[in-house]
Amino acid sequence: MGPVVVTGGFGRVGRLVRPALLKEYPLRIVDRVTGVAAPGEEVVTGDLAEPGLAEEVLAGASAVVHLAADPRTDARWEEVYRANVALTERLLDAAATRAVPRVVLASSVHVMGEYNRPEHRPVDPGWEPRPCCSYGLSKLVVESLGRLHAERTGASVVCLRLGATGYPLSERRYLGVWLSDRDAGALMAAALRAGPGWSAHFGMSANTRRHWDISSAMKLGYEPRDDSEPYAAAAGPPTVPICRMFVGEDAP
């Protein structure tokens, strides 16, 4: 079995999910920064925007987990387009060339951020997307690119609309969208086992305050084990504005 390529593997989400993936697969980490590899991991340092690098790192791969992105919700469209949309398009083109059969794309709950209002809860992942910021819009385009890739190639493409992953639960607004470190690894592993075709799922833990429907992710075999509620008493009000997803939630 060829390695699973993890882009942005030394980043915030990559560091969390690699241990779970290593239990099942050899990994090839691709990142612009260097980091410490664990046994069973190889590292390629470089920018996937460089011509030919995506094709090189996907040679012989059994799957790719694409985590590299610009997560800033206040970034200009040109910035998130270059980092999120253009880079994903380049990677998917390389995956088609290398006939990589499985692709997991890190999307975001911000794709559906405008539904984060009491009158819409629980939010169904099958509803028409309503991004709340340029970052969310860029991830929506990423999902569409993934769908096109699945239809053209027959590959498995799973888009994971991740909630708050790798952040401390210091503010109340994160309690409903939290994805724990342990559950993040389990979610990625489940996504890699999906059959051919395209799908998109919310990625959160089994939070008491969750208002995002994760039943479709659970059909992949994802079994969330954590809940943000034990942290609720210590969670405070928002400290800075983020984007429209949190309008009305104790806004600073």
Q: So what's the pLDDT on residue 1? A: 81
Mean pLDDT computed over 205-221: 97
Please name the amino acid found at residue 168: P
Average pLDDT over all residues of the chain: 97
All structural domains of the chain: 4-246 (3.40.50.720)
Around Cβ 165, how many Cβ atoms within 10 Å? 26
Q: So what's the pLDDT on residue 75? A: 95
Q: So what's the pLDDT on residue 73? A: 95
Whether pTM > 0.95 for this model: the answer is yes
Mean pLDDT computed over 64-75: 97
Q: Among residues of the chain, what percentage have pLDDT more than 70? A: 99
Q: 3-state class of 204 per DSSP?
A: coil
Strand pairing of 4-7 and 63-66?
parallel
Which secondary structure element, helix H or strand E, spans residue 238, and what is its range? Answer: none
CB half-sphere exposure, 240, CA atoms < 13 A:
3
